[in-house]
Amino acid sequence: MLLCRGIITRNTAQRSINQSYVYDMSERDLIVSNLDVCWDSVVEFLSKLESSQWQTQSLCPEWTIRGVAAHMVSVEQALSNWLPSGLDTPPPFEKVGGYFEAAMQMPEAELVAHMQSTFDIRRENLSETTEADFANPSVTPVGPATYGRFMAVREFDFWMHERDCRTPLGIDTDNGGPEAEMALNEVHLSIGYIAGKKIGLTEGQSIHFDITGSVERDIYVRVEGRAVECEPIDAPTTTLHCDSMAFMNQACGRVDPEVPIREGAISWSGDAELGAHAARNLRFTM
């Protein structure tokens, strides 16, 4: 599967069929850089919270903000000092449960310090990797892929989870930049599935995802036997106009779709019935 290969905006490159993203950094360097920024941002955010804020319900139904923090650090702790040599050396995810429970028992300040020290270990791990390491086959949360793809998924996870915590507290942050572009790429990679299986486009139909705001991207999908991403279409069946953060929240099942629709963060043009249906059926993960 295609890894993130850089920042795509309307003013630079347009992703099209059988083309890679174009960027100035190596695949490995970009992923490592974005993870580093996400780790720093999460620690800085959590370090400023008052004790009562840690008990706030996050956008993840099963977790408070403390639970999200424990989840993030427990996975990175399990990945510490691990590198796949192939699909027969899966990540030691059996350790995550114990690490999670231990993190949930830590006082807030201790948990933040634990996160910082764990992320520092991960930084050291990644600093010692090569492009070849990132190309190694690996078991990942999205199926067999590469270690690099796995780390891109981790970046997506951190980027989303920080916003899962910030949103209910009303603490805004920048939702743009290279880290946001990489997070959006994870949804972009599944756009055919979203359009075909979740929205349910039928033969001959097409959709334009007009994503604006902190991240800007145009994505076109049409159905020719199956739903596939395609080159720009002059007159798609429907166009979904989405603020980038609203699009991410819907794709990840975070917010009732009626909220961004009511607020004008998601709207549609063209076939109104299909557009209204698409706006309410973007969720492909949680």
Are the beta carbons of 213 and 183 closer than 8 angstroms?
Answer: no
Contact predicate 39/123, CB 8 Å: yes
CA pseudo-torsion sign 192, 194, 199, 200 = positive
The encoded tokens of residue 283 equal 């969720």
Q: How far apart are CA 188 and CA 229, in angstroms?
A: 9
- 269 shares a domain with 139: no
pLDDT attached to residue 75 = 98
Asked, for residue 272, whether it belongs to a domain, the answer is yes
Six token digits for residue 247: 């699009």
Residues with Cβ within 8 Å of 161's Cβ and at least 6 positions away in sequence, in order, are 42, 58, 60, 68, 71, 72
Domain total for the chain?
A: 2
Is residue 182 in a domain? no
Other C-beta atoms closer than 10 Å to the C-beta of 100 total 18
Q: Are 104 and 70 in contact (CB under 8 A)?
A: yes
Range of the domain at 110: 27-174
Asked if residue 242 belongs to a domain, the reply is yes
Q: Residue 26 has what pLDDT?
A: 86
Residues 42 and 120 in one domain: yes
The whole-model pTM stands at 0.91
- 159 and 91 housed in the same domain: yes
Tell which of 174, 209, 243 closes a domain: 174
CATH number of the structural domain spanning residue 229: 3.30.1050.10
Residue 25 is predicted with a pLDDT of 66
Residue numbers of the chain with a pLDDT score lower than 70: 1-25, 286
Condensed to tens digits (0 to 9), the pLDDT of residues 167-203 reads: 999 999 999 999 999 999 999 999 999 999 999 999 9
